Amino acid sequence: MCGIVGYIGKNNVKDVLINGLKSLEYRGYDSSGIALSDGKNIQIIKSIGRIKNLEDKINNEKLINAYKGIAHTRWATHGGANEINAHPHKVGKITLVHNGIIENMDYLKTKLEKQGYKFKSQTDSEIIAALIDSHLSDNTLKAINEATKEIIGSYALGIISELDKDCLYATRKDSPLLLGKGNEENFFASDITAINKYTNKFILLDEKEIAVLTEKDIKIYNDNLKEITQNIQKISIDKNSNSKLGYDHYMLKEIMEEPIVLEKTLKSYLENIDKLPDLSKYKQIHIVACGSALYAGMIGKFLFEKYANISCTCEVASEYRYKKNIYDQKTLVILISQSGETADTIAAMRQAKKENIDTLAIVNVKTSTIAREADIKLFIEAGPEIAVATTKAYILQVAMISLLAFKLAKPKLKDPKKIIDEFSKTPKIIKNILDKKETYLNIAKQIYQNENLFFIGRGLDYAISLEGSLKLKEISYIHSEAYQAGELKHGTISLVHEGMPIIAIITDDNLKDKTIANLREVEARGAKTFVICKDNLKEKETDITVPNTSDFTISLEIVPVLQLIAYEVAKLRNCDIDKPKNLAKSVTVE
Ligand code: F6R
């Protein structure tokens, strides 16, 4: 949610910032802005809409000869998407960009207004600028430290102070921010992709640390203003992740990468399953996540319970963090998160840790907060995911949780070698599934003009349906719900009307007839039905089939079908597939 980038050095400041913002645009894209500084003057340019609008505006301005600057792309929290609310905000001698949410904003605003500060925007970020300015006498570092101590909430801040000609400041709490160390140039950014073009040396800023960046140097201070030693890490990421490689959209490119990343993620565990943690000492599992990651967790819950015979809950992190959770010392909390920065999932993890409960994270971004703080970490190898709707990372989350369930269930399974064999074959199977683009386009053509749709399934198929439905609604804006097939007739069936598409997922041999019966019920009320099933369960010529494998791998086969149907529908509806409206990829606020 919101992306920030900062640069100091001899390179073209505007270009570095705009390139950075383009890579961070997935974090929010309703407005953006930059502040350039030559040490004397500050030039602020803002625009609503995409970074391209900002770039065009900047190209029409006469720019100062800057050697440092900060920039921001926004996902609105406080106040609408307009130029006044766009960052950077300047109050007194402080100009800043902010990612996060200030919870005691009203209190701070009233206090600052009494001191004479007047605010132009509706944002909490402008209040932080005033707060730091109110503490400023002759030492910016001290003022930032004192001001941030008054803030309740989350923040990643990039700051220019008019007191200091030759430096930038950066600090964070509960929002991501890292530093990049270059040769006679230095950077900060919300994530690596914004600056990996210029450096592969990064410093992960810890909670409440304040960094002072000059062209030649970076110094880091803790919240007692004691300078601390820096841990510079060399991290290389795939440069192709920032390119569509000829595909129309990042989403399509990322779906097409699924066989490759799956093979990469699974390979070493399939060669030696002992590399996975042994969960046999636990008596119950709580899976906690948000959105698609939660739906990956639902698949895990099904497998843990059915095959490993362990009690497992799967809960929305924003609820879990505030409710009473029943733990004992044999509880394991599994967090699933692509970004590793989802605010609610982080809070759920910290809550469990506070109770001395073991935490295991399935996470993609290795430098993220969840990756740093969880007790046990399992990394998926998705690489950067640029499309806002997750695809390749989701499928890897499913693969990893399925593998964990498999390992725990292994002693109870009749033929574990067969399952390992199925896991190994999945990347190739998915590749074949992805090749049938025409089939998915054909379905898409039959549903894209509808405004309402249901996915139905039972058990594991319901868990898979949830993701199919989310993917479709978030990128195509068709209202879609996933329902347990047997539950539909308890009220919701009243919504079924002539021509309404209903997609059934059927992979359970034992429950096939039940779901088919539910399909007949909706067909009798005019619904147009579609079936996605295992090839041994095919009934009609039009059914979409995938190879018949076990519960451990079948979701991995169905999901790409659902992703491609959603993609084709959104394309037919001319939607902005990679950046759906109102969304942002990394949800770093509550
Ligand atoms: C949907 C989507 C979101 C995320 C959710 C959790 O396509 O991407 O629902 O899955 O916001 O994000 P992470 O996995 O980063 O915690």
Residue of the nearest CA to atom 9 in ligand 1? Answer: 291
Residues 215 and 274 occupy one common structural domain: no
Residue of the nearest CA to atom 11 in ligand 1? Answer: 291
Residues 97 and 220 occupy one common structural domain: yes
Assess whether pLDDT exceeds 90 at residue 173.
yes
Residues 70 and 107 occupy one common structural domain: yes
Residue 217: inside a domain? yes
| CATH code (residue 367) | 3.40.50.10490
Cα of 499 vs centre of ligand 1, distance in Å, is: 31
Confidence of residue 329 (pLDDT cuts 50, 70, 90): confident
Residues designated catalytic: 2, 585
| CATH code (residue 215) | 3.60.20.10
Assess whether pLDDT exceeds 80 at residue 142.
yes
Residue 165: inside a domain? yes
Residues 264 and 364 occupy one common structural domain: yes
More confident residue, 172 or 329: 172
d(CA 475, CA 452): 14
Residues 254 and 229 occupy one common structural domain: no
pLDDT on residue 236: 82
Residues 419 and 450 occupy one common structural domain: no
pLDDT on residue 29: 84
- Nearest atom of ligand 1 to the alpha carbon of 393: 14
Assess whether pLDDT exceeds 80 at residue 179.
yes
Its domain, for residue 294, covers: 239-433
Confidence of residue 582 (pLDDT cuts 50, 70, 90): confident
Strands 89-91 and 94-99 come out as antiparallel
Cα of 57 vs centre of ligand 1, distance in Å, is: 32
Neighbouring CB atoms inside 10 A of 232's CB total 11
pLDDT on residue 586: 76
Residue 265: inside a domain? yes
pLDDT on residue 149: 97
Domain boundary among 237, 256, 285: 237
What are 270-299's pLDDT values in tens digits?
999 999 999 999 999 999 999 999 999 999
Cα of 391 vs centre of ligand 1, distance in Å, is: 10
Angle between helices 460-476 and 551-572 (to 10 degrees): 20
List Cα–Cα distances, 257 to 247, 248, 261, 538, in angstroms: 11, 14, 6, 28
What are 5-21's pLDDT values in tens digits?
999 999 999 999 999 99
Domain count across the chain: 3
User: Judging by beta carbons within 10 Å of its beta carbon (0-12, 13-18, 19+), is residue 406 exposed, middle or buried?
Assistant: buried
Backbone angles phi, psi at 388, to 5 degrees: -65, -40
Cα of 291 vs centre of ligand 1, distance in Å, is: 5
Residues 29 and 109 occupy one common structural domain: yes
The mean per-residue pLDDT over the stretch 149-153 comes to: 96
Q: Give the full edge-to-edge strand order of the sheet including 528-534.
A: 479-484, 452-457, 501-506, 528-534, 544-546
To test the pocket of ligand 1, the residue of 342, 349, 467 to mutate (highest count of ligand atoms within 8 Å of its CB) is 342
What are 530-574's pLDDT values in tens digits?
999 999 999 999 999 999 999 999 999 999 999 999 999 999 999
Residue of the nearest CA to atom 7 in ligand 1? Answer: 389
Confidence of residue 587 (pLDDT cuts 50, 70, 90): confident
Residues 451 and 570 occupy one common structural domain: yes
The mean per-residue pLDDT over the stretch 30-42 comes to: 95
pLDDT on residue 28: 82
Give bridge partners of residue 160 from the DSSP assignment: 95
Angle value at C-alpha 80, between 78 and 81, nearest 5 degrees: 115
Assess whether pLDDT exceeds 90 at residue 26.
no
Assess whether pLDDT exceeds 80 at residue 589.
no
Confidence of residue 77 (pLDDT cuts 50, 70, 90): confident
Share of the chain above pLDDT 90, in %: 90
Residues 196 and 49 occupy one common structural domain: yes
pLDDT on residue 439: 95
pTM value is: 0.88
Q: Are 548 and 418 a contacting pair, CB within 8 Å?
A: no
Q: Are 3 and 54 a contacting pair, CB within 8 Å?
A: no
Strands 210-213 and 218-221 come out as antiparallel
Confidence of residue 528 (pLDDT cuts 50, 70, 90): very high
To test the pocket of ligand 1, the residue of 191, 249, 292, 344 to mutate (highest count of ligand atoms within 8 Å of its CB) is 292
What are 208-251's pLDDT values in tens digits?
999 999 999 999 999 999 999 988 999 887 766 777 888 999 99
Domain boundary among 433, 463, 494: 433
Residue 590: inside a domain? no
Share of the chain above pLDDT 70, in %: 100
The mean per-residue pLDDT over the stretch 443-451 comes to: 97
Domain boundary among 237, 263, 298: 237
Residue 134 is encoded by which pair of tokens?
A: 């109110």
What are 182-195's pLDDT values in tens digits?
999 999 999 898 99
Residues 232 and 370 occupy one common structural domain: no
Residue of the nearest CA to atom 5 in ligand 1? Answer: 291
Residue 588: inside a domain? no
Assess whether pLDDT exceeds 80 at residue 585.
no
What are 299-322's pLDDT values in tens digits?
999 999 999 999 999 999 999 999
Q: Are 171 and 210 a contacting pair, CB within 8 Å?
A: yes
Confidence of residue 345 (pLDDT cuts 50, 70, 90): very high
What residues line ligand 1, using a CB cutoff of 6 Å?
290-293, 337-339, 342, 345, 389-390, 470, 474, 586-587
Residues 358 and 321 occupy one common structural domain: yes
To test the pocket of ligand 1, the residue of 254, 288, 290, 365 to mutate (highest count of ligand atoms within 8 Å of its CB) is 290
Confidence of residue 66 (pLDDT cuts 50, 70, 90): very high
Residue 587: inside a domain? no
Q: Is the peptide bond before 501 cis (omega within 30 degrees of 0)?
A: no
pLDDT on residue 516: 96
Residue 200: inside a domain? yes
Residues 403 and 463 occupy one common structural domain: no
Cα of 393 vs centre of ligand 1, distance in Å, is: 9
Residue 589: inside a domain? no
Confidence of residue 590 (pLDDT cuts 50, 70, 90): confident
